[in-house]
Each structure stands twice: as C-alpha cells, then as structure tokens.
C-alpha cells in the first residue's frame, strides 16, 4: 500500500526567506519602472499653502454600543478630533529672524503604525511580514514631501489674487515679502476670492474633507492643497471610525490609544455585527467628526485658537490665532471620496442647520460598497464619477443599477450636477497616481494622464465652490446634459465636453433652470 506523503512544510525562517525574497524582487522590478516623485507637484492655485496637523479635545460622546473584542473598550467613542489643515498662505523671505520653512512629509508618523495597519487590512498577522509592509511604505514614500509649509502664516487680509493676462498659473511663481508687505508677481491665476469684494478682504470659505475606506487624511494632499491654493481653508479629517489603517488618539492625561482598521469579527456582539451594521455606525461616527470639524472652524474664527491645545505630536500651535475673523462660516462645504462621499451625503441629512451650516457638497465616487445613499438633500451638490466607477455597474441595494440610483438622487435635488471624467479610475483623485504612476497605470488601466486627471478634478471642484459663493456658473458646469444615461444608454448618445486641460467629461445631470 502506498502512503501519500504530505509535502514538507516551510519552517518559519524558510517562509520568511522565501516570501521576503519574492517581495524584494517584486519591488526591485517595480522601482525599475516607477519614477518616484520627490516632492509632489506644486499646487495649481495662485497662493502658497500652509499645512498644519491638529488634534483637539472634544466633548466626549459614544456613537452606538459596539465593544471591541480585543480590549473590551467602546469602539466608537469620540474624545478627540484629528484633522490636517490646508490653507492659503504666504512664504516668508529668508531672514535670520524667520525660521526656515518646514516641509510636511507625505507619510504620517510613525510609519510602522501605517505599515502594520495596511498589513492588517490585507489579513497579514505574521509580524515579520507586517514589517515588510512598513519597509514598502518607507521605500515608496519616506522621502516624498507635501509642497506646503508646516505652520506657515495664514494669507493676510491684504492678500489679493493676482490675475495673469494669459490666464496661466505658475506653481513656483508666488513670492510674498512679509517684511515689506509687498507682493511680487511671476504669473498667477484666478482663484475663488475676487478683488474689491468682501471675500477679497479676508472671508475665506471652508471645506471639510472625508477620506475613503483604507485611506488617510493626507492621501489626497494634492487635490486638497490645490483647492486651498485657490483661497479656501480645508480640514481633512483623520477618521477614527476604524476605516483607516491606523490612528493614535492622544488623551489630555498623556495616555494614548491606537485605533486600527475594523471588521465585523473585531466586535463582541450578539447577534454578530454585520457589514451593514458596521457601515451605519461608521457613517454616524463620521457625521459626528464632521460636526466637530465645523465647530473647530467656528472656534478658530471666534478667536479662541490660542486657547485650544494642539495635542498632535511635533505640530506647532502658532498658526491658530491667525484664523480670527478670517473664515466665512456661511460657506462651509463638505467633500468626500468613496466611503467619504457616502459620508458627505450622510452629513447633508441635517444640513443646513446651526450645527451643520453646510452650503453644498462634492462627492467623488459615492456609493457601491460603501453603503446606502442619503436622499434628504437641501443644498447644491456636485457628484463626479471616475470612468471606472461609471463603466463597472452593480446592482445597488435592490434599487437598480448604481449609475441610475445616483442619477435619480441628483435629479431629485433639482440643484445638482452629476458627471464622469473619462479615462480615470477610482484612485485617480488621490496622490497614489502621482507617487507610483506606473503601478497605478498597470493596476487601474487608466488612459488619462494622472496629473491631467487631478487637474480636471481640481478645476471643476474650484468652479463649484466659486458657484456656491457667487452663483457664477463656468467651465464644465456650464455644459448642457451630454450623456443622460451613461453606460445604460445608447453608446452614440454619450456626448462629451472638454475640460480646461482637454480631458473628456460626460455630463449626466445639471440643475433645473
């Protein structure tokens, strides 16, 4: 009788050598194809950008009763708020009395936390393999910096947006002399504020940004920093709802707690928590964080910035007082991508109101696997789909094809736009295509250049924010409906309109006239 023998199992060290070697060979191949970007591209608007990581204490509240299996702690307890602020700024000229500007690393610290977090998301629990994720992140992004200045002063009240007759924008062409109070122009472009108006004297509109599943607040730094460079103060929320790779909460007593990515099996619950249950809890938690972010804007505008302790390690506090009486609290817009887009729609359920003085919203690729979409909307909205999100249709919660559900939702508001940027993929609005362009192109099979795609997203977003301020409709927003049914209609009825940078947009819904 023959006895079947099981193949010999790798010992732990042999597994590490085998998989580690394969891992390194793969990344050697990747780096041979991928020109990493150090730093990220300059922002598109006429102003320099200041960057500030902020964590502030908020009034404690518990969202739901979910308990973590590993620690027995409440899973959705909001005690501090973490955001990254992007805001229009000035770059001081070199002077012995002025410290050298500090660049903001693209990767948050500690890198090991993020590496381990992404390993956990991928289901990797073996510590040496988790270290490989950290090593990969370090290789890809440790030298990449955001082209903003940490703790830079807010744009002065006298700051004006200078218009180049050619309409061109030079990212390196803004030099502001704080000593003499004069501005030197080297070709700058049009932003949201306008000379000779109340806005031009210092009322800056605000944006609250909410990131996607497995994303981070800095994963969209070029998109958000570029919006800020057009005269907008942006707060990108670092969500602690268990959707990101990892985040550290810093309590007032010096204690810390790490929030990891959460899955239904991470909770103690009877009956067990489902994916739908988790989404409801996370979206409610995100709504609370959006509310607290707007409250932070209000406190800064009221002049309480110097009284708010910033608990984010290695982050300056000196910029806080500069926001006094500078923010337009009647112009707060919520923006989100993917899960964050679904969360942005969720926040509109209670807007506009005293706690949620939201004047509009921008959603990039909402819905699909990120949960049901709120339909109670009373403000103008802009929904921008990537080409991938539009073309790959799914049945959406028994309501029909996802594209049709989104279209009917926007139509029901009677004051919204719905459009698709052709040749793009779901991550096209993030920094990923800028940092590892060849990887993203191979994986997503996009046909539109990553820089062009981001520029188009930024252009239309800025045009929408300008519309919310002054009612002026321009650019792609002026287009008529070009593709009413998108992938669900006849291909010969899918007309397109060119964006500022020559990309193709399909316009599906426009506001009623």
Q: Are 46 and 154 in the same domain?
A: yes
Give the per-residue pLDDT at 11: 52
Whether 454 is covered by a domain: the verdict is yes
Are the beta carbons of 208 and 290 closer than 8 angstroms? yes
Alpha-carbon distance 421 to 491, whole Å? Answer: 16
- Alpha carbon of 189 to those of 43, 44, 164, 194, 225: distances in Å? 12, 9, 6, 11, 15
Q: Is the peptide bond before 160 cis (omega within 30 degrees of 0)?
A: no
Hey, how many other C-beta atoms are within 10 angstroms of the C-beta on 478? Answer: 12
Whether 240 is covered by a domain: the verdict is yes
Alpha-carbon distance 467 to 331, whole Å? Answer: 11
Whether 367 is covered by a domain: the verdict is no
Hey, how many other C-beta atoms are within 10 angstroms of the C-beta on 404? Answer: 16
Whether 198 is covered by a domain: the verdict is yes
Classify residue 392 as exposed, middle or buried by CB count within 10 Å of its CB (0-12, 13-18, 19+).
middle
Q: Which of 361, 379, 397 is the C-terminal boundary of a domain?
A: 379
CA-wise closest residue to 234 among 98, 161, 336: 336
Q: Are 246 and 333 in the same domain?
A: yes
β-bridge partners, 387: none
Whether 489 is covered by a domain: the verdict is yes
Half-sphere exposure of 112 (CA within 13 A, CB side): 4
Give the per-residue pLDDT at 14: 57
Q: Are 315 and 408 in the same domain?
A: no
Say whether 35 sits in a helix, a strand or coil: coil
Give the per-residue pLDDT at 185: 36
Give the per-residue pLDDT at 438: 84
Q: Are 260 and 336 in the same domain?
A: yes
- Alpha carbon of 268 to those of 204, 240, 248, 437: distances in Å? 45, 19, 22, 41
Phi-psi region of 123 (alpha: psi -120 to 50; beta: other; left: phi over 0): left
Per-residue pLDDT in tens (0 to 9) along the chain, 513 residues: 444 444 444 455 555 555 555 554 444 444 444 444 456 899 999 999 999 999 999 999 999 889 999 999 999 999 999 999 999 998 655 555 555 567 788 888 888 898 999 998 888 888 888 888 888 888 777 778 888 999 899 998 765 443 333 333 333 223 222 222 333 333 333 456 543 344 434 589 999 999 999 999 889 999 999 999 999 999 999 999 999 999 999 998 889 999 999 999 999 988 899 999 999 999 999 999 999 999 999 999 999 988 899 999 888 877 788 899 999 999 999 999 999 999 999 999 989 999 899 999 999 999 999 889 999 999 999 999 999 999 999 999 999 999 999 999 999 999 999 999 999 999 999 999 998 888 888 889 999 999 999 999 999 999 999 999 999 999 999 999 999 999 999 989 999 999 999 999 999 999 998
Alpha-carbon distance 255 to 270, whole Å? Answer: 31
Whether 281 is covered by a domain: the verdict is yes
Whether 360 is covered by a domain: the verdict is no
CA-wise closest residue to 295 among 78, 41, 8: 78
Q: Are 419 and 297 in the same domain?
A: no
H or E segment at 40?
A: none
For tokens 């409440």, the residue is: 74
List CB contacts of 403: < 8 A, sequence separation 6 or more.
385, 390, 393, 486, 487, 488
Whether 118 is covered by a domain: the verdict is no
Phi-psi region of 280 (alpha: psi -120 to 50; beta: other; left: phi over 0): alpha
Q: Are 402 and 345 in the same domain?
A: no
Provide the CATH number for the domain around residue 101. 3.40.50.1820
Alpha-carbon distance 179 to 156, whole Å? Answer: 13
Phi first, then psi, for residue 258 (nearest 5°) are -95, 130
Q: Are 325 and 393 in the same domain?
A: no
For tokens 């608990």, the residue is: 311
H or E segment at 495?
A: none
Q: Alpha-carbon dihedral of residues 225, 362, 452, 389, nearest 10 degrees?
A: 130
Q: Are 69 and 186 in the same domain?
A: yes
Alpha-carbon distance 34 to 22, whole Å? Answer: 18
Hey, how many other C-beta atoms are within 10 angstroms of the C-beta on 229? Answer: 31
List CB contacts of 188: < 8 A, sequence separation 6 or more.
46, 161, 162, 163, 164, 169, 170, 173, 174
Give the per-residue pLDDT at 201: 41
Q: Are 348 and 416 in the same domain?
A: no
Phi-psi region of 214 (alpha: psi -120 to 50; beta: other; left: phi over 0): left
Q: How many domains does the chain have?
A: 2
List CB contacts of 467: < 8 A, sequence separation 6 or more.
380, 473, 474, 477
* Structural domain harbouring 423: 388-513
Q: Are 79 and 199 in the same domain?
A: yes
Length of the chain equals 513
The residues annotated with a catalytic role in the active site are 338, 365, 426
Alpha-carbon distance 376 to 346, whole Å? Answer: 9
Q: Are 316 and 401 in the same domain?
A: no
Are the beta carbons of 360 and 332 closer than 8 angstroms? no
Residue 422 is classified by DSSP as T
Alpha-carbon distance 235 to 290, whole Å? Answer: 10
Q: Are 349 and 485 in the same domain?
A: no
Alpha-carbon distance 484 to 461, whole Å? Answer: 21
Alpha-carbon distance 430 to 435, whole Å? Answer: 10
Alpha-carbon distance 180 to 95, whole Å? Answer: 12
């Amino acid at each position: 009788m023959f006895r079947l023998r099981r193949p010999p199992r790798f010992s732990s060290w042999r597994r590490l050598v085998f998989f580690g070697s394969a891992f390194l060979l793969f990344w050697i191949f990747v780096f041979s194809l991928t020109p990493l970007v150090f730093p990220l591209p300059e922002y598109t608007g006429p102003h320099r950008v200041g960057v500030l990581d902020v964590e502030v204490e908020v009034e404690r509240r518990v969202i739901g009763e979910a308990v973590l299996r590993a620690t027995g702690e409440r899973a959705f307890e909001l005690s501090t708020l973490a955001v990254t602020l992007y805001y229009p700024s000035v770059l001081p000229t070199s002077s012995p009395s002025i410290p050298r500007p500090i660049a903001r690393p693209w990767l948050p610290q500690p890198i090991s936390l993020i590496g381990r977090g992404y390993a956990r998301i991928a289901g990797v629990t073996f510590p040496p393999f988790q270290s490989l994720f950290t090593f990969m992140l370090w290789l890809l992004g440790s030298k990449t910096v955001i082209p903003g200045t940490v703790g830079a002063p807010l744009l002065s009240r006298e700051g004006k947006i200078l218009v180049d007759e050619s309409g061109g924008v030079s990212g390196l062409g803004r030099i502001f002399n704080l000593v003499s109070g004069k501005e030197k122009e080297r070709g700058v472009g049009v932003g949201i504020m306008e000379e000779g108006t109340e806005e031009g004297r210092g009322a800056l509109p605000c944006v609250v940004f909410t990131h996607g599943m497995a994303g981070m607040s800095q994963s969209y730094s070029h998109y958000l920093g570029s919006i800020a460079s057009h005269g907008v103060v942006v707060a990108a929320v670092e969500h602690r709802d268990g959707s990101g790779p990892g985040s550290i909460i810093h309590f007032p007593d010096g204690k810390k707690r790490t929030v990891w990515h959460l899955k239904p099996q991470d909770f103690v619950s009877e009956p067990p928590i489902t994916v739908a249950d988790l989404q409801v809890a996370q979206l409610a938690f995100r709504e609370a964080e959006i509310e607290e972010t707007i409250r932070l804007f209000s406190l800064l505008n009221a002049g309480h910035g110097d009284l708010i302790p910033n608990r984010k390690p290695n982050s300056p506090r000196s910029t806080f007082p500069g926001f006094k009486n500078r923010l337009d609290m009647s112009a707060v817009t919520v923006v989100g991508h993917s899960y964050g887009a679904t969360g942005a729609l969720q926040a509109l359920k209670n807007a506009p109101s005293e706690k949620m003085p939201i004047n509009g919203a921008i959603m990039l690729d909402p819905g699909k696997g990120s949960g049901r979409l709120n339909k109670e909307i009373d403000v103008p909205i802009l929904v921008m789909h990537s080409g991938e999100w539009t073309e790959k249709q799914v049945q959406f919660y028994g309501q029909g094809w996802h594209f049709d559900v989104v279209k009917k939702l926007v139509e029901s508001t009677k004051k919204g736009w719905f459009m698709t940027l052709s040749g793009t993929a779901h991550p096209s609005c993030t920094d990923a295509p800028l940092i590892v362009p060849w990887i993203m192109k191979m994986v997503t099979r996009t046909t539109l250049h990553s820089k062009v795609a981001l520029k188009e997203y930024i252009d239309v977003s800025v045009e929408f924010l300008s519309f919310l301020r002054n009612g002026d409709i321009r650019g792609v927003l002026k287009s008529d409906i070009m593709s009413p049914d998108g992938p669900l209609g006849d291909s010969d009825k899918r007309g397109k309109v060119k964006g500022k940078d020559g990309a193709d947009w399909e316009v599906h819904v426009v506001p009623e006239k």
